[in-house]
Structure 1
Amino acid sequence: MQTEKVVQHIVNWLKDYATNAKVKGFVVGISGGIDSAVTSTLCAKTGLEVLCIEMPIHQAKSHVSRAQEHIAQLKARFPNVKDTRVDLTPVFEEFKTEVSLEGKQTTVDMALANTRARLRMTTLYYHAGLLGMLVAGTGNKVEDFGVGFYTKYGDGGVDLSPIADLLKSEVYAIGEFVKVPESIMKAAPSDGLFGDARSDEDQIGASYPELEWAMAQKDLGKTAQDFEGRQREVFEIFTRYNTNNQHKMLPIPICIIPKELK
């Protein structure tokens, strides 16, 4: 990958899109992870206004410290960057008092994790609407179009996706080039939706390099029968996520009414 040229291409794309949309800049949710760090840095490089928002909900301390380190570094480098912090923990806890928490614990936990993401999406759009900005998404290609590892109408609810055509390894390459803090570069990727430091690999059962490999093999038309051992296991994990999460990757189904019925 021609990293410097890719960075400039994305920055130009972001700036052109914002200019054509007649908005001031971008709102980015900062999690302490590589994707939001790279996305916010690319947005900052446009010279347009950028608002970085921390939105903790019972957040792991390591995530909070990395997010704050990144924001401080970004503000020191770019005068167009501002930040704010919205503690959504009380909102989340109040929500829990108004809904049923009965059912299988793993199902309840997942529903609540997705609720966290949707509360954050609402917060991002509130500020974007208030300030005349766009919500910049932080999803990469493996998450968005490989395994669908994101929350529909949560972190998947955005105005534009600057890094969604980049594999995770390519996001790291850009992160190094644009000087993302070392603590973020070395941290295990995590969605931060469960209030602890569990990694994406813990949840999915495969690392991003493994998922990138499986994604490439699927594009070549390979099937699980073409592999054995760990490779077969990884390919089956990728295929299961890819199949189950197609509802996130495809357009919303529309029931078309036949003309003779109208």
Structure 2
Amino acid sequence: MSLFDSEKIASHIIDWLNNYIKDLPIDGFIVGVSGGVDSALVASLCARTNKKVILLNMPIRQSESEFIRSKEQIEALERNFDNVQGMTIDLTNTFESFEHIMPENVKENQLAMANSRARLRMTTLYGVGQSNKLLITGTGNKIEDFGIGFFTKYGDGGVDLNPIGDLLKSEVFLLAKHLGVIQKIIDAKPTDGLWGDDRNDEDQIGANYDELEFIMNFKGSKDDLTVRQKEVYDIYQRLNTINQHKMVPIPVCNLEGLK
């Protein structure tokens, strides 16, 4: 990790963002800012493109601490970058209307309803983004997007491009500190904010990101691992397997030779 050059990486990502849209009929980027470090980092990178940027705070029965972190991060970037516009769209009533019309077995399925929150946010991002000629910019890191599939399909996984998808979580923190992400966000435990309570990512996954990074990069024999490392290895392999449907292209039935 000592070889990680934050300034070089940041400059490369900012150039990549600008180059991606240079020949497109697009004015900039829109980011859903959740109060977590990943979205705060992406917001900070997009702000430095000098293109139009909307940072959207979309609370749904959100904890006050998450909402305040999002709000303060957006306001900090608005103060420092003239191209940044903050916006809040409270989706609580919209979500509750959706919840109200769902069959009881759907309402009672906590995971289905949590994922519905993420998909409602995605719909909102695309509505605002398209209206302003902006691309929806993803905030998933390498562990989440390509390791364990810890994201909602067509929710926070529904994006146009992802500037941090090749960064490990530890690298996300290094770059976030370098770019001045607010300390409240740096200090907060990572959470997806989909449950309306104080559970964090580690509670849901059963392992922290440092442990997962070690296993993701581990090339040796499982027999050489400690008891805890073996537990995390099993967690990683299980999630990687069951979430492959999120991480590979949509399967298409091949009719070659039949028509």
The TM-score bracket by the shorter chain reads: over 0.9
Match of 2:73?
A: 70
1:10-38: CA deviations, max 9, x gaps?
Answer: 00000111212231000000100000000
- Number of aligned positions between the proteins: 256
Distance 1:58 1:104, change over 3 A: closer
Does the 8 A contact of 1:25 with 1:133 survive in 2?
Answer: yes
Aligned equivalents of 2:177, 2:37: Cα separation in 1: 10
1:126-146: CA deviations, max 9, x gaps?
Answer: 011101110000000000001
State how 1:1-262 maps to structure 2 within 5 Å: 1-102=4-105, 105=108, 108-217=109-218, 220=219, 222=220, 224-259=222-257, 261-262=258-259
1:152-204: CA deviations, max 9, x gaps?
Answer: 00000000000000000000000000000000001000000001221100000
Aligned equivalents of 2:251, 2:106: Cα separation in 1: 29
Aligned equivalents of 1:104, 1:39: Cα separation in 2: 32
1:36-65: CA deviations, max 9, x gaps?
Answer: 000011000000010000110000111001
Q: Give 1:224 deviation, angstroms.
A: 3.8
TM-score calculated relative to the size of structure 2: 0.96
What root-mean-square deviation, in Å, do the aligned CA atoms of Structure 1 and Structure 2 show? 1.2
TM-score calculated relative to the size of structure 1: 0.95
Q: Give 1:104 deviation, angstroms.
A: 9.8
Name the % identity. 50
Q: Please tell me the residue identity of whatever aligns with 1:21.
A: L
Aligned equivalents of 1:104, 1:235: Cα separation in 2: 33
Aligned equivalents of 1:104, 1:62: Cα separation in 2: 26
Distance 1:134 1:228, change over 3 A: same
In structure 1, runs of 5+ residues without a counterpart are: none
Does the 8 A contact of 1:121 with 1:157 survive in 2?
Answer: yes
1:216-248: CA deviations, max 9, x gaps?
Answer: 11xx2x454442411110111111111110110
In structure 2, runs of 5+ residues without a counterpart are: none
Q: Please tell me the residue identity of whatever aligns with 2:104.
A: L
The secondary structure found in structure 1 opposite 2:177 is helix
Aligned equivalents of 2:35, 2:187: Cα separation in 1: 11
Q: Please tell me the residue identity of whatever aligns with 1:92.
A: F
Q: Please tell me the residue identity of whatever aligns with 2:182.
A: P
Does the 8 A contact of 1:39 with 1:163 survive in 2?
Answer: yes
